[in-house]
């Protein structure tokens, strides 16, 4: 777990599921913080890993 201040966040990720109205707090791996250059890079990695190629830009 990241314990030192890392420039705007504390190594945590909040996931909110709007369908079933739940949330969870996850630790961001330190390796991501070092490699992905902040929030935009981490967001892009999550999109890449979790959204399949069949989903088009304007799909609902």
Residue 45 counted as domain residue = yes
DSSP state of 30: H
pLDDT in tens, 4-52: 655 566 788 899 999 999 999 999 888 887 788 778 888 899 989 999 8
**Total number of domains in the chain:** 1
Residue 43 counted as domain residue = yes
Residue 4 counted as domain residue = no
Residue 55 counted as domain residue = no
pLDDT at residue 60 above 90? no
Residue 57 counted as domain residue = no
Residue 58 counted as domain residue = no
- In three state form, how does the secondary structure of the chain look? CCCCCCCCCCCEEEEEECCCCEEEEEECCHHHHHHHCCHHHHHHHHHHHHCCCCCCCCCC
What does the alpha-carbon distance between residue 59 and residue 38 come to, in Å, rounded to a whole number? 27
pTM of the predicted structure, to 2 decimals: 0.63
Query: Where in the sequence is the domain holding 34, given as residue range(s)?
Result: 12-50
pLDDT of the residue at 38: 75
């Amino acid at each position: 777990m990241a314990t030192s201040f890392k420039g705007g966040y504390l190594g945590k990720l909040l996931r909110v599921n709007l369908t079933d109205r739940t949330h969870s707090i996850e630790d961001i791996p330190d390796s991501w913080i070092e490699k992905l250059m902040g929030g935009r890079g981490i967001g892009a990695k999550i999109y890449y890993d979790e959204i399949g190629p069949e989903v088009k830009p304007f799909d609902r």
